Structure 1
Amino acid sequence: MKERTLNNGIAIPIVGSGTNTYGKEGNQYRGALRGDTQEIDWAIENGYRHLDCAQAYNNEEVVGEGIRKSFVPREEFFITTKLNTFEGCGGADWARAEIDKSLEKLQTDYVDLFLLHAPWDQDAEMLEAWRILEDYYNRGVFKSIGVSNFKKEHLDLLLEKSNVPPAVNQIKSQVGHWNEDLIAYDKMHGIATVAWSPLGGIDEKARKVLDEIGQPYGKTYAQVVLRYQIERDVIVIPKSHNQERQAQSLDIFDFELTASDRDRIAELG
């Protein structure tokens, strides 16, 4: 698996697996846990070592149990999880308690990348939450820290006021919403961009174009999109409940898109 080095020297695999519906009834985001780790088992068998989860997904234990059962050494995995800040931060004690729950569910004593899952409209609270992440980072519990869904103004706040700059900004980047400006801004400040739902936004018209591009390479439309993303230096976390398609998302390192290919893809929307 190819990796890129974050701004603190930590290496992150450039393809990971999303997990937000894994282990859930009906493969639904709000589904109850089924009590198995099927999709994580397949992902690990396929070679995924970068697994992206979050407190808000309510299934960190599925990821933790899948890793434990695999007998693959913990240090071979890159685990990302996120503090649930969609409604802000409930204070330092709340944040630390939530972090402890994540570590327990993931059955690990450290996390490779820990993110604030979303910004909110209280700058002082955001800085307090970030300083808590910095504390865990300085103690080695978090190997790297970052943010998700942050825009320029939120990044500016942390870059100006924090001691540890974000290593990652995980954002929406997909067909019809490539988010070029924010990706460029991240890059200018040494922040790696991770695309969530990188295969979203593909309608029938876009799929036809992507299939045409992929045909000479023997690649699917999804593989073409993922290749386009990583050629833009964007880390991707596709997700599938199908073992074969999981494997296909890793099989994107044996071809390169032409300039014409990239122009056609950039125009999709």
Structure 2
Amino acid sequence: MEYITLNNGLKMPIVGTGTNTYGKENNEYNGALTNEIPELVSALELGYRSIDAAIIYRNEELVGRVLAQSTVPREELFITTKVPGNEVYISSKKATRAAIDNSLKNFQTDYLDLLLIHFPIEDKVQLKNTWEVFEEYYEAGKLKAIGVSNFGKNHLDELKEFAKVKPAVNQIQVNLKEPNKDLLAVLKDEGITPVAWGPMKAEAHQKEVLDEIGKAYKKSGAQVLLKYQIQRGIIVIPKSHKRENQASNLDLFDFILSAEDIEKIENL
């Protein structure tokens, strides 16, 4: 595994696994919760250590149980979760503290590696209050890093007005369908690490080019696309319910895309 050092010195695995459909009937986001997450067990066995969760996925407790029961030491895991902008979680500092405390309980741990605001909070007072609670838990060592998700430049500028701790990451959609180049440039200037959700989305004609590029490296088009992202310093959070695909999504560290191939992908 390779790591990226965040702006506070914390090292984060450059590849993680999403969990938004794990432990749910028919592998559907809105599916009823089951009592098992074989996909996460498989991911841990294969070497995934960065686990991307969220309160609104409804499965924090299930994910936490698997992590706690695994043989992987806590210090090797990188657990991320997210607080949504719903009133129940951000109506007051007390509500936000309760949300964080509940996540800590769900993951059976005394600290989280990364906590994000899941979506922009339009009310500036609530945004300020929420971030101040994040900073409070960060200073207390209960959060190793804090950040945001789905924030645009305007939202980051609002946060900058009062934040004492700069966001370590901004988790955003980055793929060939939504390259998000302008926002990536902003994050680079600000020293905020981009984390890509949905990193493997591509149109059919783009996939054909990726597959063609992959032949020279004996890799799939999907692996080429993930490698393209991480060579640009973007952390990726792919997700699969199939063990073979999970393994493939981790098998990225024995080749390097040439400048010519990167340019081909850029032009897609």
Q: TM-score, normalised by structure 1?
A: 0.96
Structure 1: segments with no counterpart, 5+ residues: none
Q: Is 1:217 aligned to 2:217, yes or no?
A: yes
User: What CA distance in whole angstroms lies between the structure 1 residues aligned with 2:62 and 2:32?
Assistant: 12
Contact 2:177 2:203 in 1 (8 A): no
Q: Considering only aligned residues, what root-mean-square deviation do their CA atoms show, in Å?
A: 1.2
Report % sequence identity: 51
**AA at the equivalent of 1:263:** E
Q: Which residue of 2 aligns with 1:174?
A: 175
| Matching of residue 228 in structure 1 with residue 234 in structure 2 | no
Q: In the alignment, is the contact (CA less than 8 A) between 1:86 and 1:117 conserved in 2?
A: no
Q: SS of 1:79's equivalent?
A: strand
Is structure 2 residue 139 aligned with structure 1 residue 138? yes
Q: Could you say what secondary structure the match of 1:246 adopts?
A: helix
| Matched-pair contact (CA < 8 Å) for 1:152–1:185 | yes
Cα 1:223–1:86 change in 2 (3 A) is farther
Query: How far off its partner does 1:185 sit?
Result: 0.7
Corresponding residue of 2:158: 157
Give the gaps of 5 or more residues in structure 2. none
- The residue correspondences of 1:1-269 to structure 2 (distance < 5 A) are 1-85=1-85, 89-200=90-201, 202-268=202-268
- Give distance in 1, aligned partners of 2:106 and 2:155: 29
How far off is 1:227 after superposition? 0.3
Map Cα deviations across residues 33-64 of structure 1 (whole Å, 9 max, x no partner). 11002011000000000000000111111221
How far apart are residue 266 of structure 1 and its match?
Answer: 1.9
Cα distance in 2 between the residues matched to 1:123 and 1:265: 39
Are the aligned partners of 1:54 and 1:83 in contact in 2 as well (CA < 8 Å)?
yes
- In structure 1, how many angstroms separate the alpha carbons of the residues matched to 2:90 and 2:69? 33
Runs of 4+ more than 3 Å apart? none
Q: Distance in 1 between matches of 2:183 and 2:203?
A: 24
8 Å CA contact 2:148, 2:169 repeated in 1: yes
Deviation at 1:209, TM superposition (A): 0.9
Letter in 2 for 1:50: S
1:127, CA displacement in angstroms?
1.1
CA distance in structure 2 between the aligned counterparts of 1:189 and 1:221, rounded to whole angstroms: 31
Structure 1 position 124, deviation (Å): 1.8
- Cα distance in 2 for partners of 1:93, 1:144 equals 20
Show CA shifts across 1:110-137 (max 9, x none).
1000000010221121011000000000
Distance 2:65 2:196 in 1: 25
Alpha-carbon distance in structure 2 between the residues aligned to 1:40 and 1:18 = 9
Contact 1:86–1:118 (8 Å) recurs in 2: no
Aligned CA distance change for structure 1 residues 57 and 248 (closer, same or farther; 3 Å): same
Give the letter aligned to residue 159 of structure 1.
K
Q: Secondary structure at the match of 2:161?
A: helix
- Please report the TM-score for the alignment, with normalisation by the length of structure 2: 0.97
CA distance in 2, matches of 1:238, 1:86: 26
Q: What is the number of residues matched between the two proteins?
A: 267
Q: Displacement of 1:156 after TM fit?
A: 1.3
